Chains A and B, each alone.
Chain A
Amino acid sequence: GENVEQHPSTLSVQEGDSAVIKCTYSDSASNYFPWYKQELGKRPQLIIDIRSNVGEKKDQRIAVTLNKTAKHFSLHITETQPEDSAVYFCAASPPASKIIFGSGTRLSIRP
């Protein structure tokens, strides 16, 4: 089955700098790769997703890149702000199947 690894587990960046979180997956059939943000005490919420036929997708300050050959994908947050502090999860899903999550990255933004 699918296995998703996520790094780093914690990340601290200066406000205004960029943050990058990386994930790898094992199942070459996976074709959908979402990213979720979870604020303290709240439920995870989707922030951006990418399908396997697209190499990069951007939405304002966040972007995702996907390398299907290497089976890895990354989340990039530019011009970080205090409200970006949260736990971020990557995930991978084969078609019409279960979604497997990575172990999460706790992002802290230093003022």
Chain B
Amino acid sequence: KAGVTQTPRYLIKTRGQQVTLSCSPISGHRSVSWYQQTPGQGLQFLFEYFSETQRNKGNFPGRFSGRQFSNSRSEMNVSTLELGDSALYLCASRGQGDEQFFGPGTRLTVL
């Protein structure tokens, strides 16, 4: 079974731009969560989607948004990028059990 895939793996943007990151969960998994990882703040929960509905949201500004499609693939969007948005963005999918399976992440650098 293929794992969680994230595209692109690396991204460089400049301040003020917007960015869209993509996540394809493990086949059959309907829950997709997003996390931001930075050296200063560690791993922080962004949001969770289940069957195209956002059912949990972390404490991030409205510039961070996401969505999920009918095939469970998910995208997250960050608008008006700031230097502090530079981070590794991790996506995780979950099936019926406890375990969340993480993708390799997208490393975003904002210049």
Indicate whether A and B interact: no
Q: CB within 8 Å of A: which residues of B?
A: none
Q: CB within 8 Å of B: which residues of A?
A: none
